[in-house]
Amino acid sequence: MSKHTNLFTFLKRKEPEPATTTTNEEVMPESSTPVIEQNIFETHRTETDETKDLLLSLERYPGLRVPMWDYRYEKRDQTRRAYLKLKPYQPILKSFLFSGPDSHHRRFQASWYKRFPDWLEYSTSKNVAFCLLCYLFADKPNRNTKTFTLVGFNNWKKVNDGDNCPFITHVGGGPCSTHNNSVRAKIDLLNDRGHIRHALISRREEQIKRNRVRLMTSINVVRLLTLQACPLKGHNESENSENRGNFLEFHKAFARYNDKVSKAIENTDYNAKYVAPSI
């Protein structure tokens, strides 16, 4: 007779080695929380925390920022919202730096912020002006946007030149100017309720409600007919039948006296009505 074999015939159990510590190290008590749970708690972050971290990490000074098109596509809208929340960088200094020829020194004026409060920015490091909205929403720089997004504007003597003011020229007179397109992009971004994501979520919630109404209607009809010991299926359940059976006829009666049930049942495909015999 052969010797009885089992798992331990081939595998020998290894005894655990005793923990060794040196005299210069203290033994840390084992935590009551498993390591996996600790990692979950440590890595769990709320959207508010991420927003705060993003606000702290953004480059505040115009001219030193990373161009918006260098951000990953999925991070751009979040970064744009953060910059809009911070608002344009508009420092008010006792004296701004002079620029231009020695005979005609000019400098930036803080009063210009009031004329263009939503987008005008001043870079203290480069002594130039930028447009926050074009930086956030304009495409890669072209002749119309390069000055106010990458290079910066500092020809101060032309600012008070009436309609020829470069700031007014930058905004443009038509609704389709690059700056005005950026303004509309800002409005669309902040109109969060009109975002396609919310539209899809709202539509999905409405669909769920209609599905529940249809399902509960079918359940209540089945419970009623079962309680009264009535058959559910009819001899002819086709659309042209005058009597499609108790289940479908009661179903129709419920819809006739309840607008919510009627809308839920009528505005749907046949396969989503929860009236198929197999269901």
Taking only the tens place, the pLDDT of each residue in 250-263 is 888 888 888 888 87
Q: State whether 89 and 205 are in the same domain.
A: no
Whether residue 180 is contained in a domain is answered as yes
Whether residue 144 is contained in a domain is answered as yes
Q: State whether 60 and 165 are in the same domain.
A: yes
Q: State whether 213 and 149 are in the same domain.
A: no
Could you give the CA distance from residue 252 to residue 230 in angstroms, rounded to a whole number?
17
Return the SS3 of 96.
coil
The terminus-to-terminus CA distance of the chain in angstroms comes to 60
Q: State whether 246 and 169 are in the same domain.
A: no
Contact 174, 122 (CB under 8 A): no
Whether residue 45 is contained in a domain is answered as no
Q: State whether 76 and 169 are in the same domain.
A: yes
Q: State whether 68 and 88 are in the same domain.
A: yes
Could you give the CA distance from residue 89 to residue 29 in angstroms, rounded to a whole number?
51
Contact 163, 207 (CB under 8 A): no
Could you give the CA distance from residue 62 to residue 72 in angstroms, rounded to a whole number?
20
Of 184, 154, 158, which Cα lies nearest the Cα of 169? 158
In this prediction, what percent of the chain has a pLDDT beyond 70? 73
What confidence tier does 270 reach under pLDDT thresholds 50, 70, 90? low
- pLDDT digits 0-9 by tens, 181-191: 999 999 888 88
Look at residue 117 in the predicted model and tell me its pLDDT.
Answer: 93
Look at residue 266 in the predicted model and tell me its pLDDT.
Answer: 72
Q: State whether 121 and 204 are in the same domain.
A: no
Q: State whether 178 and 84 are in the same domain.
A: yes
- Final residue before a domain boundary, out of 143, 165, 190: 190
Whether residue 23 is contained in a domain is answered as no
Look at residue 24 in the predicted model and tell me its pLDDT.
Answer: 43
- Final residue before a domain boundary, out of 190, 212, 237: 190
Q: pLDDT higher for 26 or 264? A: 264
- pLDDT digits 0-9 by tens, 207-225: 888 888 888 888 898 999 9
- Tally of domains within the chain: 2
Whether residue 11 is contained in a domain is answered as no
Whether residue 210 is contained in a domain is answered as yes
- Final residue before a domain boundary, out of 160, 190, 220: 190
Whether residue 40 is contained in a domain is answered as no
Q: State whether 56 and 177 are in the same domain.
A: yes
Contact 131, 149 (CB under 8 A): yes
Whether residue 44 is contained in a domain is answered as no
**Within 13 Å and on the Cβ side, how many CA atoms surround 55?**
12
Of 172, 157, 264, which Cα lies nearest the Cα of 218? 264
Contact 186, 137 (CB under 8 A): yes
**Within 13 Å and on the Cβ side, how many CA atoms surround 97?**
13
Could you give the CA distance from residue 260 to residue 113 in angstroms, rounded to a whole number?
55
- pLDDT digits 0-9 by tens, 17-67: 555 444 444 443 343 333 333 343 344 445 566 667 777 788 888 888 888
What letter would DSSP give residue 49?
Answer: H
Q: State whether 69 and 159 are in the same domain.
A: yes
Q: What tokens does 252 get? A: 């129709």
Q: State whether 129 and 204 are in the same domain.
A: no
Q: Which domain holds residue 209?
A: 199-272
Q: State whether 75 and 177 are in the same domain.
A: yes
